[in-house]
Amino acid sequence: MSTNAEKVTELRERGNECVRAGNYAEAILHYSHAIRLDSRSPQLYSNRSFGFLKLQQYYHALEDAKEAIRLDPSWAKGWFRKGEVEYATNHFAEALESYRRASQLQDDPTLLECVLRTNREMTRQQKVDQQTPWVGAGIGLILGVLIVVGDAVLAKQSILSHPVLQSIITVIFSLFGLGLGYCYRLYIQNQRSSLLEPPIDLAGDGVMRNGVDGVGGENIAESTTADEPRHHPRYTKAQARQRYKKGKS
């Protein structure tokens, strides 16, 4: 084994150890150094994608998963990684397609469960998206009726006694609620999309890209859990080098 290959293996194993210890930020650093030495390894990109996903760095996690797929389109785990990121960001239609591609490449019961789970979530999401505007319209209608009834009961001289005027008030409030429902649905959809947008680089020196893929081990059933603590560390290149030197000492 060449010296370069030995170094890559050492860095990958260090990253895997950090993953097992829950130290995902440091794992990303080790995987990134390994990728600089071997940028043609889909496993390394898969490992770093997992690390980014654990830190809720969804854009970078998705980019690494895509790179793993580009390097080896026939590797099921690359598609699985992509599906995990898309599922975590509520992009269920895209996640369903990724999981299906993975299940076509590898016969694994876990992948089938991912497909079924994602299909259920996609159906639920579509139902909620369809109902949201009409829920708003219903709330607006109720408010309009309450105003009309309240005016008739509480006011000494009702200004909304005419049936036509009462109907207009309820229709206006219902349409207003419908509009708010559409706006809220659009807001939620934009929130989903923003999860996969590139983060703002406040330091101006960019984020490490030639990084990591996959998780330690080859079991495709390794997936994320919502209960684990999340962090958002950001390191400059100088800080990354310093942390790496400390890891070697």
d(CA 80, CA 93): 14
Please give the average per-residue pLDDT across 126-135, as a whole number: 88
pLDDT of res. 249: 41
Instruction: List pLDDT tens digits, range 48-103.
Output: 999 999 999 999 999 999 999 999 999 999 999 999 999 999 999 999 999 999 99
CA dihedral 181→183→189→194, nearest 10 degrees, is -150
pLDDT of res. 216: 36
CB contact at 8 A, 47 and 19: yes
d(CA 73, CA 76): 8
Instruction: List pLDDT tens digits, range 171-183.
Output: 888 888 889 888 9
Asked whether the predicted pLDDT for residue 223 surpasses 50, the reply is no
First to last CA, the chain: 24
pLDDT of res. 164: 77
The pTM of this model reads 0.71
Residue 222 gets the label, from left (phi > 0), alpha (psi -120 to 50) or beta, of beta
The domain locations on the chain are 3-82+203-235, 130-194
Residue 90 gets the label, from left (phi > 0), alpha (psi -120 to 50) or beta, of left
Q: What amino acid occupies position 227?
A: D
pLDDT of res. 213: 38
Instruction: List pLDDT tens digits, range 8-58.
Output: 999 999 999 999 999 999 999 999 999 999 999 999 999 999 999 999 999
Q: Tell me which CATH code domain 3-82+203-235 carries.
A: 1.25.40.10
Please give the average per-residue pLDDT across 138-158, as a whole number: 77
Mean pLDDT for the chain overall:
81
pLDDT of res. 1: 46
Q: At what angle do helices 163-194 and 109-154 cross, to 10 degrees?
A: 150
Asked whether the predicted pLDDT for residue 201 surpasses 70, the reply is no
Q: At what angle do helices 42-54 and 3-20 cross, to 10 degrees?
A: 30
**Model confidence band, residue 239 (pLDDT cutoffs 50, 70, 90):** low
pLDDT of res. 59: 95
pLDDT of res. 99: 97
